[in-house]
Structure 1
Amino acid sequence: MVTLHRRPNWKISVYAGDHGVPHFHIEGPGFRCSVAIATLEVIVGAVPRRVLVEALGWAAERQDELQVTWRELNP
């Protein structure tokens, strides 16, 4: 697992050996979701709206970096 962004109560990570479409995880205490990198749509799970908006804003500016990290960890 690589943590790419961290806030006080949540983080964005990409896991090695993961499955499905290229995605990242938004995780915090009591919540977790997976988000498709290409579309920034939530695949599964749920997070507080405030966290989702902030995380997707960060991810929208770094989709290329997220894709590269996914490919490195999931060849």
Structure 2
Amino acid sequence: MPTIAIVDGVVLMIHLRDHLPPHLHAKIAGFEAQISIATGDVLNGSLPPAKRKRVQDWLATHRGEVAFVWSEIRAGRYAGGMIE
């Protein structure tokens, strides 16, 4: 499960062969959430409110890059690296 970014201490990952809809896995200190790439909505789980907001703001700025990385990971072409 490649880590694509760390936002305010929250580790953002995408599973190699994950299910639809496209989403991120966000983890920090015992919390985990699945967050829609398209909308930023929490699909499952939870994060502390301030961390959730920070991740959603970051995602709004990087949505295109994250969607591209999701596609590359699912196609087995992702070379690694973090989105900053």
State TM-score, norm by structure 1: 0.89
Unaligned runs of 5+ in 1: none
RMSD (CA atoms)? 1.3
Higher strand share: 1
Aligned residues: 75
Q: Is the 8 A contact 2:13 2:26 kept in 1?
A: yes
| Alignment partner, residue 59 of structure 2 | 59
| Alignment partner, residue 70 of structure 1 | 70
Matches within 5 A, 1:30-49: 30-49=30-49
State TM-score, norm by structure 2: 0.81
Whole-angstrom CA distance in 2 between matches of 1:12 and 1:47: 12
Whole-angstrom CA distance in 2 between matches of 1:29 and 1:65: 26
Q: Residues 16, 60 of structure 1: CA spacing in aligned structure 2 closer, same or farther, 3 A cutoff?
A: same
